[in-house]
Structure 1
Amino acid sequence: MHINLSMRDIETVLVLGRTLNFRQSADQLHLSQSALSTQIRRIEDDLGVKLFDRTTRTVRLTVAGEVFLRQAVVLRNVFRDALDAIAGAASGARGRVAVAALPSLAATLLPPVLMKYHLAHPEVELKVYDTLSGAAFDLVRSGEVDFALTAADPQQADLQYDPMMSDRFVLLIPIDHRLARAKGPIRWADTIDYPHVSMTHPSSVRQYSEWAFLQNKIRFQPLFEAEHLSTIAAMVECGFGVAALPQIAAAIVGHRRIVKRLLTAPLTKRSIGLVTARSRTLSPTAAALLATLQDYLSPKGGIVSDR
């Protein structure tokens, strides 16, 4: 059975079911009584069942009509909710936003941005993936996140990368280490004789560290490796060695027995930017979050490591 009813048809049945009066219903629907009668007959023919028993004096709902009326209320509410949801998504007031970010950014930059956005858009669902660069690019590519905040990677040329800030590298040193006595910046080459604790491949931190040492014609070979910043910081504090980290990442290290010094020669800056899919337009909710992020960065000049 093929049934072709519109929301206008459903609304018509609801009005007549409520008034049980053709004249009143026709007035409310801005129809003539004959046009209303024709529409009701067409609806009943389409359904294959009578919804109303009518005489010259009375109009009554049939059993089928009572069932239809209950379901019609549900259908109307669902339809209105759908329209409200679409309108909310189109305006950026409702919906869902998913973002991927480097763990250091997820722990420092994003929370105040997300809170400001949440206060302005309380009905938008927020989801954050704190992950390394490679996984962040994959999440954008698959559509699981709207955009990512991560380090640049020329190998991901199929995605759009727009730089937003830069992040200088510092050296984490145990407080009683010989290098901790230095008052100013430390050269990369001056650290090579000491054990290094480094992030594992394929992290952007590891790639930048290897590049910095190559500029000094030195092959970087860390003695210890770890995946998480907290582990690296704890190992440095215990005296396993020193660790080169971006300043954003180093900012979340709360260990008291660690000294931080700027690394130079070369002065290494990691580019952090926005990663989006070239073929997809950001939803209004995602675009609003991005605008909040840009507004947050703008007064600070967009250079997180120089704050």
Structure 2
Amino acid sequence: MNDRQLEALIYLSRCGTFKEAARSLYHDSDENEYVTPEALQYRIRALEEELGISLYKKRQGTSRVTLTREGHLFLNEAITIHQRMQRWRSMFAESTRGKLSFAATELVIMHRLPEPVRLFHERLPQIELVVKAASPENIEAKVRSGEVDFGLATHPPEGDDLEYVVWKRSGFVVITPRGHELTRMEKPALQDLVHFPLIVLLPDPSRSDDRARVDAAFRRAEVNHTPNIVLETSNSELIKTFVEAGIGVGIVAETSVLTLRHEIDVVRMGDEFGQTEVGLLVREEKLITRAMREFLLLLSDTFEPWLEKRENGHRR
């Protein structure tokens, strides 16, 4: 039994055909070494002979395969052994050079990541860091395809092939031009906002629709007047720019005001608009390298219990 045989079974279970498993393995390989479907089939056949069991069976009339009952039972052990072998290989590698890639929304990158990225480069200057800005849906796709090592997503994934670990939760705030009337109110409420021109995000059909939360908050509050929305735009940076220009007051996620480069004031109104969250998104079989561990702990030490479970071979 060797690591390549275990790897072949893991990829076959995930992809469903030898052809797709070979393609996915090539995409994920650091050496970009192509392995033929026939070679993967040979590796699994050798594993079956050693174990004395059948690990998969073909679906009639199709090239797709499914794992047998014994195959499913052995798969969990295969994943655990494979992860440990990869971790040991990474730990004992002579060179510490490499690459770490992840995807996140522009908002998260701009306001939460500059300091962790700076510290990461100080600690591991030999590691190339690749940061990709993407929409919430594209983040999930990039993680699932293996294009990036992990994602920082704004909602849990669809399906159960990815792990999601909450990192940050935050609410919404109102931003105003400097010295605005709202900043002088002791406890401004939603009813107070309807008297001012509002600048808000455009509706977004994605599962992380911040505009929907704002609209729902006004409906729940049963305010006496319809909110006076004078401008809709696609991101919070534009909202801050228009607020600074004196066009109105804006409603944005609290994350977007962690770093302020505009002449505006921030008014906190409690939890009327609900909360948003950002979480780690990673494939279940993904090896946690030293570089990835270091970066996640720079984001937050709350990842440590999850990292320990993963490194000990436990998932979810």
What is the distance in 2 between the residues matched to 1:143 and 1:114? 21
What is the distance in 1 between the residues matched to 2:94 and 2:212? 41
1:181-233 Cα deviation digits (max 9, x unpaired): 3244x323432343322223245432432343343357878432222333211
In the alignment, which residue of structure 2 is the partner of 1:198?
200
In the alignment, which residue of structure 2 is the partner of 1:239?
246
Whether 1:215 and 2:220 are equivalent positions in the alignment is yes
Amino acid at match of 2:246: G
- Relative distance call for 1:124 and 1:154 in structure 2 (3 A) is closer
In the alignment, which residue of structure 2 is the partner of 1:131?
134
What is the distance in 1 between the residues matched to 2:160 and 2:240? 33
Check conservation: 2:199, 2:250, Cα contact below 8 A: yes
1:278 to 271, 274, 284: 284
Q: What is the Cα deviation at residue 262 of structure 1?
A: 0.6
Check conservation: 2:193, 2:227, Cα contact below 8 A: no
- Relative distance call for 1:107 and 1:238 in structure 2 (3 A) is same
Whether 1:111 and 2:118 are equivalent positions in the alignment is no
Gaps of 5+ in 1: 1-85, 299-307
What is the distance in 2 between the residues matched to 1:173 and 1:147? 36
Amino acid at match of 2:241: A
Q: What is the Cα deviation at residue 95 of structure 1?
A: 1.3
Whether 1:269 and 2:286 are equivalent positions in the alignment is no
Q: What is the Cα deviation at residue 96 of structure 1?
A: 1.0
Amino acid at match of 2:240: A
- Relative distance call for 1:265 and 1:251 in structure 2 (3 A) is closer
RMSD of aligned residue pairs (Cα, Å): 3.3
2:96 to 77, 93, 109: 93
Match of 2:286, SS?
A: coil
Match of 1:253, SS?
A: coil
119-128 or 140-149, larger mean C-alpha shift? 140-149
Whether 1:292 and 2:307 are equivalent positions in the alignment is no
Amino acid at match of 2:267: R
What is the distance in 2 between the residues matched to 1:149 and 1:274? 5
238-247 or 193-202, larger mean C-alpha shift? 193-202
Larger Rg: 1
Structure 2-normalised TM-score? 0.56
In the alignment, which residue of structure 2 is the partner of 1:251?
258
What is the distance in 1 between the residues matched to 2:215 and 2:158? 17
Aligned pairs (5 A) from 1:27-38: none
What is the distance in 1 between the residues matched to 2:92 and 2:269? 46
- Relative distance call for 1:244 and 1:132 in structure 2 (3 A) is farther
Whether 1:229 and 2:236 are equivalent positions in the alignment is yes
1:96-143 Cα deviation digits (max 9, x unpaired): 111222323212321221222222222111011233423322322222
- Relative distance call for 1:157 and 1:125 in structure 2 (3 A) is same
Structure 1-normalised TM-score? 0.58
Check conservation: 2:140, 2:157, Cα contact below 8 A: no
- Relative distance call for 1:133 and 1:234 in structure 2 (3 A) is same
In the alignment, which residue of structure 1 is the partner of 2:185?
182
- Relative distance call for 1:183 and 1:217 in structure 2 (3 A) is closer
What is the distance in 2 between the residues matched to 1:262 and 1:149? 25
Amino acid at match of 2:234: E
What is the distance in 1 between the residues matched to 2:191 and 2:105? 27
Gaps of 5+ in 2: 1-88, 305-316
